[in-house]
Amino acid sequence: MTKTIFITGTSSGLGKGTAILFARRGWNVIATMRDPSKETELNTIPGIQVLALDVTDAAQVNETIASLLRTTPVDVVVNNAGYGLGGPFEGATEEQLQRQIDTNLMGVFRVTQAFIAHFRNRKSGVFITITSIGGHVAFPIFAPYHATKWALEGWSESLWYELSRFGIQVKTVAPGGIRSDFGGRSLTLTSHPAYDELMEGAEKVMRAPKRLANYASPEAIAEVIYTAATDGKPQLRYIAGKGAKMMYRIRNLFGYRFFMKQVNKMFFS
Ligand X SMILES: NC(=O)c1ccc[n+]([C@@H]2O[C@H](COP(=O)([O-])OP(=O)(O)OC[C@H]3O[C@@H](n4cnc5c(N)ncnc54)[C@H](OP(=O)(O)O)[C@@H]3O)[C@@H](O)[C@H]2O)c1
* Pairwise CA distance, residues 114 & 100, whole Å: 21
* Residue number with CB closer to ligand X (77 or 178): 178
Helix axes 143-164, 107-122, angle to 10 degrees: 10
* Residue number with CB closer to ligand X (166 or 248): 248
Does residue 8 bind ligand X (CB under 6 A)? yes
DSSP 176-243: --BSSSTTTTT-EE---GGGHHHHHHHHHHHT-HHHHHTPBPHHHHHHHHHHHHHS-----EEEESHH
Q: Which of 147, 172, 175, 247 binds ligand X (CB under 6 A)?
A: 175
Q: Which of 182, 195, 226, 238 binds ligand X (CB under 6 A)?
A: 182
List the x/- string, 76-115, binding to ligand X by CB under 6 A: ----xxxx-------------------x---x--------
Does residue 224 bind ligand X (CB under 6 A)? no
Q: Write out the catalytic residue numbers.
A: 145, 149
SS3 50: strand
Q: Which residue is nearest to ligand X (CB)?
A: 13
Does residue 180 bind ligand X (CB under 6 A)? yes
* Pairwise CA distance, residues 24 & 46, whole Å: 9
SS3 149: helix
CB neighbours of 212 closer than 8 A, spacing ≥ 6?
177, 179
Q: Which of 4, 11, 112, 169 binds ligand X (CB under 6 A)?
A: 11
* Residue number with CB closer to ligand X (12 or 166): 12
Least spacing, CB of residue 1 vs ligand X, in Å: 29
* Residue number with CB closer to ligand X (125 or 175): 175
Q: Which residues pair with 51 in a beta bridge?
A: 32
Query: How many residues touch ligand X (CB under 6 A)?
Result: 29
List the x/- string, 136-165, binding to ligand X by CB under 6 A: ------------------------------
- Site residues for ligand X, window 42-81 (CB under 6 A)? 53-56, 80-81
Does residue 238 bind ligand X (CB under 6 A)? no
Does residue 129 bind ligand X (CB under 6 A)? no
DSSP letter at 102 equals I
Least spacing, CB of residue 34 vs ligand X, in Å: 4
Alpha-helical (H) ranges within 78-177 are 94-101, 107-122, 143-164
Binding site for ligand X (CB under 6 A): 8-9, 11-15, 33-35, 53-56, 80-83, 103, 107, 130, 132, 175, 177-178, 180-182, 186
